Amino acid sequence: MRTVITGGAGFIGSHLTEHLLSSGDEVTVLDDLSTGSVDNLAAVADHPRLTFVEGSILDTELLGETMAGHDRVFHLAAAVGVRLIVDDPLHGLRVNIHGTENVMEAAREHRLAVLLASTSEVYGKNTADRLAEDSDRILGSALLSRWTYAGAKGIDEAFAHAYATRYDVPLVIVRLFNTVGPRQTGRYGMVVPNLVGQALRGEPLTVFGDGQQTRCFSFVADVVPALVALAECPAADKLAVNLGGLTEISIMSLAARIASRLDSPSPITLVPYAEAYGPGYEDMRRRVPDNTLAGRLVGFAPRATIEEIIDRVAEAIAVPAPAR
Ligand code: UDP
Protein backbone atom coordinates (compact mmCIF):
# COMPACT_ATOMS: atom_id res chain seq x y z
CA MET A 1 0.00 0.00 0.00
CA ARG A 2 1.06 3.56 -0.67
CA THR A 3 -0.22 5.49 2.30
CA VAL A 4 -0.38 9.18 3.19
CA ILE A 5 -0.59 10.10 6.86
CA THR A 6 -1.59 13.70 7.52
CA GLY A 7 -0.30 14.60 10.96
CA GLY A 8 2.19 11.73 10.73
CA ALA A 9 4.74 13.56 12.89
CA GLY A 10 2.25 13.89 15.72
CA PHE A 11 1.69 11.60 18.67
CA ILE A 12 -0.65 8.98 17.16
CA GLY A 13 0.55 9.67 13.60
CA SER A 14 4.16 8.79 14.38
CA HIS A 15 3.17 5.47 15.96
CA LEU A 16 1.00 4.75 12.91
CA THR A 17 3.89 5.64 10.60
CA GLU A 18 6.18 3.15 12.35
CA HIS A 19 3.48 0.48 12.30
CA LEU A 20 2.75 0.85 8.58
CA LEU A 21 6.43 0.96 7.62
CA SER A 22 7.00 -2.28 9.51
CA SER A 23 4.11 -3.91 7.67
CA GLY A 24 5.61 -2.98 4.29
CA ASP A 25 3.77 0.19 3.24
CA GLU A 26 5.30 3.11 1.45
CA VAL A 27 4.44 5.98 3.76
CA THR A 28 4.28 9.68 3.00
CA VAL A 29 3.90 11.89 6.04
CA LEU A 30 2.43 15.35 5.57
CA ASP A 31 2.80 17.49 8.67
CA ASP A 32 3.19 21.21 9.26
CA LEU A 33 5.09 20.55 12.52
CA SER A 34 2.83 22.98 14.37
CA THR A 35 2.25 20.54 17.22
CA GLY A 36 4.06 17.49 15.81
CA SER A 37 7.84 17.15 15.64
CA VAL A 38 10.41 15.37 13.48
CA ASP A 39 11.76 14.00 16.77
CA ASN A 40 8.67 11.79 16.89
CA LEU A 41 9.90 10.10 13.69
CA ALA A 42 13.50 9.71 14.87
CA ALA A 43 13.32 5.91 14.93
CA VAL A 44 12.36 5.76 11.23
CA ALA A 45 14.01 8.95 9.95
CA ASP A 46 16.25 7.10 7.49
CA HIS A 47 13.71 4.49 6.45
CA PRO A 48 13.85 3.98 2.65
CA ARG A 49 10.06 3.74 2.33
CA LEU A 50 9.33 6.94 4.29
CA THR A 51 8.88 10.32 2.64
CA PHE A 52 8.39 13.38 4.82
CA VAL A 53 6.66 16.46 3.43
CA GLU A 54 6.51 19.55 5.61
CA GLY A 55 3.34 21.48 4.88
CA SER A 56 -0.24 22.18 5.80
CA ILE A 57 -3.50 20.49 4.84
CA LEU A 58 -4.73 24.03 4.18
CA ASP A 59 -2.32 24.21 1.21
CA THR A 60 -4.54 22.52 -1.38
CA GLU A 61 -1.87 22.42 -4.09
CA LEU A 62 0.69 20.74 -1.86
CA LEU A 63 -1.97 18.38 -0.49
CA GLY A 64 -2.99 17.29 -4.01
CA GLU A 65 0.64 16.77 -5.07
CA THR A 66 1.34 14.80 -1.90
CA MET A 67 -1.71 12.55 -2.15
CA ALA A 68 -1.40 11.81 -5.91
CA GLY A 69 -0.10 8.30 -6.59
CA HIS A 70 -1.21 6.89 -3.22
CA ASP A 71 -3.88 4.33 -2.33
CA ARG A 72 -5.13 5.67 0.95
CA VAL A 73 -4.90 8.49 3.44
CA PHE A 74 -5.09 8.39 7.22
CA HIS A 75 -6.25 11.90 8.01
CA LEU A 76 -4.94 12.61 11.49
CA ALA A 77 -3.82 16.23 11.10
CA ALA A 78 -5.94 18.45 13.31
CA ALA A 79 -5.78 21.12 15.93
CA VAL A 80 -6.32 19.10 19.11
CA GLY A 81 -6.01 19.65 22.82
CA VAL A 82 -8.30 21.78 24.94
CA ARG A 83 -5.54 24.29 25.66
CA LEU A 84 -4.87 24.93 21.96
CA ILE A 85 -8.55 25.16 21.08
CA VAL A 86 -9.41 27.53 23.91
CA ASP A 87 -6.41 29.74 23.10
CA ASP A 88 -7.04 29.95 19.35
CA PRO A 89 -10.50 28.72 18.34
CA LEU A 90 -10.32 30.30 14.89
CA HIS A 91 -7.20 28.34 14.00
CA GLY A 92 -8.82 25.15 15.30
CA LEU A 93 -11.95 25.70 13.23
CA ARG A 94 -9.97 26.46 10.06
CA VAL A 95 -7.59 23.53 10.31
CA ASN A 96 -10.24 21.05 11.31
CA ILE A 97 -13.06 22.00 8.94
CA HIS A 98 -11.24 23.29 5.83
CA GLY A 99 -8.47 20.73 6.28
CA THR A 100 -10.91 17.83 6.15
CA GLU A 101 -12.70 19.32 3.17
CA ASN A 102 -9.36 19.62 1.36
CA VAL A 103 -8.40 16.03 2.18
CA MET A 104 -11.75 14.72 0.92
CA GLU A 105 -11.43 16.68 -2.33
CA ALA A 106 -7.91 15.44 -2.97
CA ALA A 107 -9.01 11.88 -2.12
CA ARG A 108 -11.76 12.05 -4.71
CA GLU A 109 -9.50 13.56 -7.36
CA HIS A 110 -6.66 11.10 -6.83
CA ARG A 111 -8.80 8.08 -5.83
CA LEU A 112 -7.64 7.40 -2.29
CA ALA A 113 -9.57 5.68 0.47
CA VAL A 114 -9.89 7.82 3.61
CA LEU A 115 -9.70 7.12 7.32
CA LEU A 116 -10.80 10.21 9.26
CA ALA A 117 -9.58 10.41 12.84
CA SER A 118 -12.39 11.90 14.90
CA THR A 119 -12.95 12.14 18.61
CA SER A 120 -15.23 11.22 21.47
CA GLU A 121 -15.62 15.00 21.91
CA VAL A 122 -18.36 14.79 19.29
CA TYR A 123 -20.65 13.31 21.99
CA GLY A 124 -20.17 16.47 24.02
CA LYS A 125 -21.88 16.44 27.40
CA ASN A 126 -23.64 13.13 26.87
CA THR A 127 -22.90 11.12 30.04
CA ALA A 128 -24.47 7.82 28.91
CA ASP A 129 -23.25 4.60 30.54
CA ARG A 130 -21.84 3.55 27.19
CA LEU A 131 -21.62 5.96 24.28
CA ALA A 132 -22.56 4.06 21.14
CA GLU A 133 -21.90 5.46 17.69
CA ASP A 134 -25.51 6.60 17.30
CA SER A 135 -25.63 8.34 20.70
CA ASP A 136 -26.72 11.97 20.70
CA ARG A 137 -24.35 14.90 20.58
CA ILE A 138 -25.04 17.30 23.43
CA LEU A 139 -23.02 20.46 22.95
CA GLY A 140 -22.84 23.69 24.90
CA SER A 141 -23.09 27.19 23.44
CA ALA A 142 -21.68 27.62 19.94
CA LEU A 143 -19.96 30.79 21.16
CA LEU A 144 -18.00 29.10 23.96
CA SER A 145 -14.58 28.45 22.46
CA ARG A 146 -14.38 25.15 24.36
CA TRP A 147 -17.16 23.70 22.20
CA THR A 148 -15.65 24.71 18.87
CA TYR A 149 -13.56 21.53 18.78
CA ALA A 150 -16.56 19.26 19.36
CA GLY A 151 -18.53 21.33 16.87
CA ALA A 152 -15.81 21.29 14.23
CA LYS A 153 -15.16 17.56 14.47
CA GLY A 154 -18.91 16.88 14.19
CA ILE A 155 -19.01 19.00 11.04
CA ASP A 156 -15.88 17.20 9.80
CA GLU A 157 -17.58 13.87 10.16
CA ALA A 158 -20.76 15.10 8.48
CA PHE A 159 -18.78 16.69 5.66
CA ALA A 160 -16.60 13.64 5.06
CA HIS A 161 -19.60 11.35 5.16
CA ALA A 162 -21.70 13.44 2.78
CA TYR A 163 -18.74 13.85 0.45
CA ALA A 164 -17.85 10.16 0.48
CA THR A 165 -21.46 9.19 -0.17
CA ARG A 166 -21.92 11.66 -3.03
CA TYR A 167 -18.63 10.90 -4.77
CA ASP A 168 -18.21 7.27 -3.79
CA VAL A 169 -14.99 7.71 -1.80
CA PRO A 170 -14.23 4.82 0.59
CA LEU A 171 -14.35 6.28 4.11
CA VAL A 172 -14.19 5.14 7.70
CA ILE A 173 -14.50 7.55 10.63
CA VAL A 174 -12.85 6.57 13.89
CA ARG A 175 -13.81 8.26 17.17
CA LEU A 176 -10.86 8.10 19.53
CA PHE A 177 -11.46 8.23 23.28
CA ASN A 178 -8.49 9.74 25.15
CA THR A 179 -5.70 7.87 23.42
CA VAL A 180 -2.49 8.19 25.42
CA GLY A 181 1.09 6.98 25.25
CA PRO A 182 4.71 7.98 24.64
CA ARG A 183 5.25 11.17 22.58
CA GLN A 184 1.96 12.73 23.60
CA THR A 185 2.79 16.14 24.91
CA GLY A 186 1.17 17.72 27.94
CA ARG A 187 1.66 21.15 26.39
CA TYR A 188 -1.92 21.39 25.10
CA GLY A 189 -3.54 20.09 28.26
CA MET A 190 -3.57 16.30 27.88
CA VAL A 191 -3.90 14.99 31.36
CA VAL A 192 -1.74 11.85 31.44
CA PRO A 193 1.54 13.33 30.15
CA ASN A 194 0.83 16.47 32.15
CA LEU A 195 0.38 14.68 35.48
CA VAL A 196 3.17 12.17 34.82
CA GLY A 197 5.56 15.04 34.02
CA GLN A 198 4.53 16.86 37.20
CA ALA A 199 4.98 13.68 39.27
CA LEU A 200 8.46 13.08 37.83
CA ARG A 201 9.49 16.66 38.53
CA GLY A 202 8.05 16.57 42.06
CA GLU A 203 5.60 19.38 41.26
CA PRO A 204 1.99 19.43 42.49
CA LEU A 205 -0.35 17.32 40.36
CA THR A 206 -2.97 19.71 38.99
CA VAL A 207 -6.43 18.14 39.01
CA PHE A 208 -8.99 20.43 37.39
CA GLY A 209 -12.50 20.94 38.77
CA ASP A 210 -13.49 18.51 41.52
CA GLY A 211 -11.55 15.63 39.99
CA GLN A 212 -14.66 13.43 39.87
CA GLN A 213 -14.95 13.67 36.07
CA THR A 214 -14.08 10.34 34.43
CA ARG A 215 -12.37 9.14 31.26
CA CYS A 216 -11.50 5.76 29.70
CA PHE A 217 -7.89 6.01 28.56
CA SER A 218 -6.70 3.82 25.72
CA PHE A 219 -3.10 3.01 24.91
CA VAL A 220 -1.72 4.04 21.52
CA ALA A 221 -0.30 0.54 20.86
CA ASP A 222 -3.81 -0.91 21.20
CA VAL A 223 -5.35 1.79 19.03
CA VAL A 224 -2.95 1.90 16.06
CA PRO A 225 -3.46 -1.69 14.82
CA ALA A 226 -7.22 -1.16 15.13
CA LEU A 227 -6.99 1.97 12.96
CA VAL A 228 -5.26 -0.05 10.23
CA ALA A 229 -7.68 -2.97 10.56
CA LEU A 230 -10.66 -0.60 10.25
CA ALA A 231 -9.13 1.07 7.20
CA GLU A 232 -8.89 -2.39 5.64
CA CYS A 233 -12.36 -3.58 6.69
CA PRO A 234 -14.93 -3.29 3.86
CA ALA A 235 -17.80 -3.66 6.36
CA ALA A 236 -16.63 -0.44 8.07
CA ASP A 237 -17.15 1.65 4.95
CA LYS A 238 -19.04 4.92 5.68
CA LEU A 239 -19.35 4.03 9.38
CA ALA A 240 -18.17 5.90 12.46
CA VAL A 241 -16.49 3.53 14.92
CA ASN A 242 -15.55 4.14 18.58
CA LEU A 243 -12.11 3.12 19.87
CA GLY A 244 -11.65 3.59 23.60
CA GLY A 245 -10.30 2.08 26.78
CA LEU A 246 -12.19 -0.35 28.98
CA THR A 247 -11.67 1.12 32.43
CA GLU A 248 -13.47 4.23 33.62
CA ILE A 249 -11.34 6.23 36.04
CA SER A 250 -11.83 9.58 37.72
CA ILE A 251 -9.12 12.17 37.20
CA MET A 252 -8.59 12.31 40.98
CA SER A 253 -7.89 8.60 41.18
CA LEU A 254 -5.75 8.83 38.04
CA ALA A 255 -3.61 11.44 39.81
CA ALA A 256 -3.36 9.25 42.92
CA ARG A 257 -2.39 6.20 40.82
CA ILE A 258 0.28 8.23 38.99
CA ALA A 259 1.79 9.59 42.22
CA SER A 260 1.90 6.17 43.84
CA ARG A 261 3.10 4.26 40.75
CA LEU A 262 5.96 6.72 40.24
CA ASP A 263 6.77 6.99 43.95
CA SER A 264 6.34 10.71 43.69
CA PRO A 265 6.23 13.02 46.70
CA SER A 266 4.00 15.42 44.70
CA PRO A 267 0.80 16.58 46.41
CA ILE A 268 -2.46 16.66 44.46
CA THR A 269 -3.89 20.16 44.01
CA LEU A 270 -7.42 20.98 42.89
CA VAL A 271 -7.44 23.81 40.35
CA PRO A 272 -10.77 25.49 39.46
CA TYR A 273 -11.66 25.20 35.77
CA ALA A 274 -11.77 28.98 35.37
CA GLU A 275 -8.16 29.16 36.53
CA ALA A 276 -7.06 26.29 34.29
CA TYR A 277 -8.87 27.24 31.09
CA GLY A 278 -10.41 30.69 31.59
CA PRO A 279 -13.96 31.74 32.38
CA GLY A 280 -17.00 29.83 31.17
CA TYR A 281 -15.23 26.50 30.76
CA GLU A 282 -17.41 23.40 30.78
CA ASP A 283 -15.90 19.93 31.11
CA MET A 284 -17.27 16.56 30.09
CA ARG A 285 -18.24 14.84 33.35
CA ARG A 286 -17.99 11.38 31.94
CA ARG A 287 -17.00 9.72 28.71
CA VAL A 288 -17.35 5.96 28.39
CA PRO A 289 -17.15 4.21 25.02
CA ASP A 290 -19.19 1.32 23.76
CA ASN A 291 -16.56 -0.59 21.75
CA THR A 292 -18.97 -3.28 20.55
CA LEU A 293 -18.85 -2.22 16.91
CA ALA A 294 -15.04 -2.15 16.74
CA GLY A 295 -14.99 -5.54 18.48
CA ARG A 296 -17.35 -7.00 15.93
CA LEU A 297 -15.68 -5.44 12.88
CA VAL A 298 -11.99 -5.97 13.69
CA GLY A 299 -11.83 -7.81 17.04
CA PHE A 300 -10.77 -4.66 18.93
CA ALA A 301 -9.91 -5.69 22.50
CA PRO A 302 -7.64 -3.16 24.23
CA ARG A 303 -5.15 -4.78 26.60
CA ALA A 304 -3.03 -2.13 28.32
CA THR A 305 -3.80 -1.36 31.96
CA ILE A 306 -3.60 2.14 33.39
CA GLU A 307 -0.41 1.09 35.24
CA GLU A 308 1.26 0.03 31.99
CA ILE A 309 0.19 3.28 30.37
CA ILE A 310 1.66 5.30 33.26
CA ASP A 311 4.94 3.33 33.06
CA ARG A 312 5.32 3.79 29.30
CA VAL A 313 4.53 7.50 29.42
CA ALA A 314 6.93 8.00 32.34
CA GLU A 315 9.76 6.16 30.52
CA ALA A 316 9.25 8.32 27.44
CA ILE A 317 9.31 11.53 29.47
CA ALA A 318 12.38 10.43 31.45
CA VAL A 319 14.27 9.36 28.31
CA PRO A 320 13.44 11.81 25.51
CA ALA A 321 13.84 10.64 21.90
CA PRO A 322 17.17 11.68 20.38
CA ALA A 323 17.03 15.05 18.59
CA ARG A 324 17.76 15.07 14.86
N1 UDP B 1 -7.14 17.65 33.45
C2 UDP B 1 -6.66 17.81 34.76
N3 UDP B 1 -5.39 18.24 34.92
C4 UDP B 1 -4.54 18.51 33.88
C5 UDP B 1 -5.03 18.34 32.57
C6 UDP B 1 -6.34 17.91 32.39
O7 UDP B 1 -7.38 17.56 35.73
O8 UDP B 1 -3.40 18.90 34.13
C9 UDP B 1 -8.51 17.12 33.28
C10 UDP B 1 -9.38 17.85 32.27
O11 UDP B 1 -10.03 18.96 32.84
C12 UDP B 1 -10.35 16.74 31.88
C13 UDP B 1 -9.50 15.48 31.95
O14 UDP B 1 -8.40 15.80 32.78
O15 UDP B 1 -11.39 16.63 32.82
C16 UDP B 1 -8.99 15.01 30.60
O17 UDP B 1 -8.36 16.09 29.97
P18 UDP B 1 -7.64 15.96 28.56
O19 UDP B 1 -7.34 17.36 28.11
O20 UDP B 1 -6.52 14.99 28.66
O21 UDP B 1 -8.71 15.28 27.63
P22 UDP B 1 -10.25 15.64 27.30
O23 UDP B 1 -10.70 16.78 28.13
O24 UDP B 1 -10.25 15.93 25.86
O25 UDP B 1 -10.96 14.39 27.66
Q: Is the CB of residue 183 below 6 angstroms from any atom belonging to ligand 1?
A: no
Q: Is the CB of residue 205 below 6 angstroms from any atom belonging to ligand 1?
A: no
Q: Is the CB of residue 206 below 6 angstroms from any atom belonging to ligand 1?
A: yes
Q: In degrees, to the nearest 5, what angle opens at C-alpha 162 toward C-alphas 160 and 163?
A: 60
Q: Does 188 participate in catalysis according to the annotation?
A: no
Q: Is the CB of residue 82 below 6 angstroms from any atom belonging to ligand 1?
A: yes
Q: Are 232 and 193 in contact (CB under 8 A)?
A: no
Rg of the chain over Cα atoms, rounded to whole angstroms, equals 19
Main-chain phi, psi angles of 290, to 5 degrees = -100, 110
Give residue 156's identity as a one-letter amino acid code.
D
Single pTM value for the model: 0.96
Catalytic residue among 123, 149, 188, 281: 149
Residue nearest (by alpha carbon) to ligand 1 atom 6:
191
Question: How far, in Å, CA of 5 to CA of 18, rounded?
Answer: 11
Question: How far, in Å, CA of 27 to CA of 70, rounded?
Answer: 9
Q: Is the CB of residue 283 below 6 angstroms from any atom belonging to ligand 1?
A: yes
Report helix angle 251-261 to 306-318, nearest 10: 60
Helices (H), the chain: 11-22, 60-67, 82-87, 89-93, 99-110, 146-167, 191-201, 220-231, 251-261, 273-277, 292-298, 306-318
Burial of 90 (0-12, 13-18, 19+ CB in 10 A): exposed
Closest atom, ligand 1, to C-alpha of 180: 20
Q: Where does the pLDDT of residue 189 fall: very low under 50, low under 70, confident under 90, or very high at 90 and above? A: confident
Share of the chain above pLDDT 90, in %: 87
Question: How far, in Å, CA of 112 to CA of 64, rounded?
Answer: 11
Annotated domain spans of the chain: 2-180+217-245+289-300
Q: Where does the pLDDT of residue 279 fall: very low under 50, low under 70, confident under 90, or very high at 90 and above? A: confident
Closest atom, ligand 1, to C-alpha of 283: 15
- Segment 164-193 shows an average pLDDT of 95
Q: Taking 60 as the threshold, does the pLDDT of residue 321 lie above it?
A: no
- Residue 237 Cα, ligand 1 centroid: separation in angstroms? 32
Question: How far, in Å, CA of 250 to CA of 253, rounded?
Answer: 5
Residue 280 pLDDT: 80
Number of residues assigned to the chain: 324
Residue 171 pLDDT: 98
pLDDT in tens, 227-237: 999 999 999 99
- Segment 90-119 shows an average pLDDT of 96
Residue nearest (by alpha carbon) to ligand 1 atom 1:
191
Q: Is the ipTM of this complex over 0.90?
A: yes
pLDDT in tens, 144-172: 888 998 999 999 999 999 999 999 999 99
Residue 35 pLDDT: 92
Q: Per CATH, which fold does 2-180+217-245+289-300 belong to?
A: Rossmann fold (3.40.50)
- Residue 190 Cα, ligand 1 centroid: separation in angstroms? 6
- Residue 270 Cα, ligand 1 centroid: separation in angstroms? 12
DSSP code, position 9: T
Residue 281 pLDDT: 86
Question: How far, in Å, CA of 119 to CA of 5, rounded?
Answer: 17
Q: Where does the pLDDT of residue 319 fall: very low under 50, low under 70, confident under 90, or very high at 90 and above? A: low
pLDDT in tens, 306-317: 999 999 999 999
